[in-house]
Structures are given as C-alpha cells and as structure tokens.
Amino acid sequence: MRIIVMSDSHGNLSAVEDIILRSVNADWYIHLGDGERDVDNFLLENPEYESKIIQVAGNCDWGSMRPTHTVLPVFGHRIFITHGHTYAVKNTLDIITKNAKQENCDIVLFGHTHVRYEHYENGMYFLNPGSCSVPHDGKAPSFGSVDIFASGVITNITDV
C-alpha cells in the first residue's frame, strides 16, 4: 500500500496537482492541512480522486468543517492524521504521541511546522512531510510517502 502525504500548500494548487499526478497509482493521498481549498480546487478538475483523498483542517483553513484529526486503519496499522497545531508540534511531540497512543496508532502524520521530519521510536513511525509550497527548513518544497508491506513500514520524504 502506498500513501502520499502532503501539507501546507497555502494556495499553491500546482504543487498539489504535481504531487498527486506524479503518483497516480497511490492508494491514498493525505493532505495534512493549510491547503483545503487547494485540494478542493484540484478535485473540481479531477473528481475521480475524491474517494482516495483524506484531508484534515489546519490552522489556516478558516471556516473548515473538516476534523482536526482522523484515524485511518490500514493493513494492521492505525494512522493518526492531523495538521498538528492543536498538539503543539512546534514545541514538542509528547502531546501528539500521547494522543496517537490513546487511539492505538503506530503511524503519526502531521504538518504545521513546514519542516521535514521522519523518526521511528518505540514502535511508532512519525512523518512530517514539510511544506509542499513554503518550507521553513532551507530545503526544497517536499512531500512524503508511507509504504506499508507485510514485512513493515517505510517512510520517505521527496522534493516536489
């Protein structure tokens, strides 16, 4: 199973289009917030992707009716999906880790910081794909992927 993960597009529809259309065989596309309108505009032209896209609301998705987090169960794993602003991810991962554990999740996807991050610790995978539009880490805009196999999980971050 392949999951494409993006975050913080902030009005850059072309970044969302590029990421999705270069990975057309993915099983899921997850946008971690601060780009709800970008995904909605993409879907206006590409409605065939609607059933494969998951979105959560970010702090800049004003007026959003989407949840700030959701859980996706896939192949014996549970994925905690959030933008991260309600879990203070710019300061610590303790709060998001605690909440993910309460939901019995072993994969945590978050954005908000605009900084790439991959980590595995104590049976939990963490992935922040950075920003696909305006990174804050001096690196190129980026997105992530999560590949789930019977033998394990692989996370990766790629330049847009």
Q: Specify whether domain 2-159 bears CATH 3.60.21.10.
A: yes
Q: Which amino acid is at 54?
A: I
Rounded to 5°, angle at Cα 116 from 8 and 127: 90
pTM of the model: 0.96
CA dihedral sign, ordered 69, 67, 154, 143: negative
Give the tens place of pLDDT for each residue, 5-35: 999 999 999 999 999 999 999 999 999 999 9
- Domain range annotation of the chain: 2-159
For residue 155, CA distances in Å to 68, 90, 122, 124 come to 22, 21, 16, 12
Q: How many CB atoms lie within 10 A of CB 140?
A: 12
Mean pLDDT of 119-132: 97
3-state secondary structure of 49: helix
Mean pLDDT of 132-153: 97
Q: How many CB atoms lie within 10 A of CB 123?
A: 7
Q: Which of 79, 78, 87, 80 is nearest to 58 (CA)?
A: 87
In angstroms, the first-to-last Cα distance of the chain is 21
Give the tens place of pLDDT for each residue, 73-107: 999 999 999 999 999 999 999 999 999 999 999 99
Report residue 57: phi and psi, to 5°: -80, 140
Contact 81, 32 (CB under 8 A): yes
